[in-house]
Structure 1
Amino acid sequence: MHTSSPTVIEQPAPVHHNRLYRRVVLPILALLRMGASPRKLAWSIALGLLIGINPVLGTTTVFCLTAAFLLRLNLVASQLANHIVYPLELLLFIPFIHFASRVFHIAPIPFSAAQVFHIAREHPLALIRQIWQWEWHALILWAVVASIAIPVIALALTPLLRKLLVRVEHHEYPILHHPRHNA
């Protein structure tokens, strides 16, 4: 009597992606699978990245939604990029204001909290006017940077997203890992 052992089909190990892959790459893959064009996706991401670092704190979501809607770009991709760079917005806030004060020859922002509090107590309206001036000039500087960087980033991302779309169409990058069951 001949007994044969059952054929064992090796299952691929489950794919465990890091947080960045799950939070950034998978949504972009999903957008490509749903029919988003690589070109429009690239412009949406570039727009979100640059709006996400504008120096007017608390405005990025509204600015990003408005710009993406008016330009008929992908709202999800622009918001994804906007939220990814949030830490950069905080890191670049002071440098934008500092550099703008030098470019536009206005009083620099005092880096001492004691100086700011002193001005706030002694001349609150002057401080509000000065903060508005810092913000306004920093926003102008950011707009110049953004008007150059958005097309550069979009043009760089478009071919990468086209290659990614080809891989998605050939199912080389699955959105979710579906374990196969042995029959």
Structure 2
Amino acid sequence: MNPNESILASIEPASTPVHHNWIYRRVALPILALLRMGATPEKLAWSVAVGLLIGVNPILGSTTLLCLAVALIFRLNVAASQIGNHIVYPLELLLVIPFMRLGSFVFHTEPIPLSPKSLLESARSNPIALTRQLWHWEWHAFIVWACIATIAIPLIAFALTPLFRKLLLRIEHNQYPIISGT
């Protein structure tokens, strides 16, 4: 048994069978472990909320470092913020184009052409102009995302806090006792 499995096995609820689904192993058990190690429900909720929202920002490839920086600056739980960040990765890919379209609408710029033919034609005819335009679309999308995140992060944190408090109470009442990992 590797070290991660033994840690996860040590916090497995005694009253439930061992679950093998991804969300349980990669989200629920680490959150339970963080609560068990002394993370407060409030800080954990803010950390996960920040991770979730940073995880869907429209600048592809920036989420892990941005999430780490924000967690360190605001003294959040880095592990919890990264859990939130990584579970929403598929949403990031789905939301890039809507954020770019919303950014174009808000900033009154021409929308991003979604046909591969028009993008390829622009890349061939004037690659520098296309690069500049892509930067504008990304920047505008990022600003729109930041405005939405500013409102959504506290809402998500306030919604998660009671859930994490209930989990902590269950832990304290030994409903999630430590069991042997061997």
TM-score (norm 2): 0.88
Aligned residues: 169
More helix by share: 2
Distance 1:16 1:119 in 2: 50
Instruction: Give 2:134's aligned residue.
Output: 131
Instruction: Give 2:157's aligned residue.
Output: 154
Residue 33 of structure 2 is aligned to residue 22 of structure 1: no
Question: Is the CA contact (8 Å cut-off) linking 1:14 and 1:177 kept in structure 2?
Answer: no
Q: 1:119 to 1:73 in 2, by over 3 A?
A: same
State the one-letter code of the partner of 1:41: L
State the one-letter code of the partner of 1:113: P
Unaligned 5+ segments in structure 1 are 1-10
TM-score (norm 1): 0.87
Q: 1:13 to 1:92 in 2, by over 3 A?
A: closer
The 5-angstrom pairing of residues 46-57 of structure 1 reads 46-57=49-60
Instruction: Give 1:6's aligned residue.
Output: none
The 5-angstrom pairing of residues 69-108 of structure 1 reads 69-108=72-111
Deviation at 1:22, TM superposition (A): 1.0
Q: 1:114 to 1:166 in 2, by over 3 A?
A: same
Q: Percent identical across equivalent pairs?
A: 63
Distance 1:34 1:43 in 2: 17
Question: Is the CA contact (8 Å cut-off) linking 1:46 and 1:78 kept in structure 2?
Answer: yes
Q: 1:178 to 1:108 in 2, by over 3 A?
A: same
Larger radius of gyration between Structure 1 and Structure 2: 1
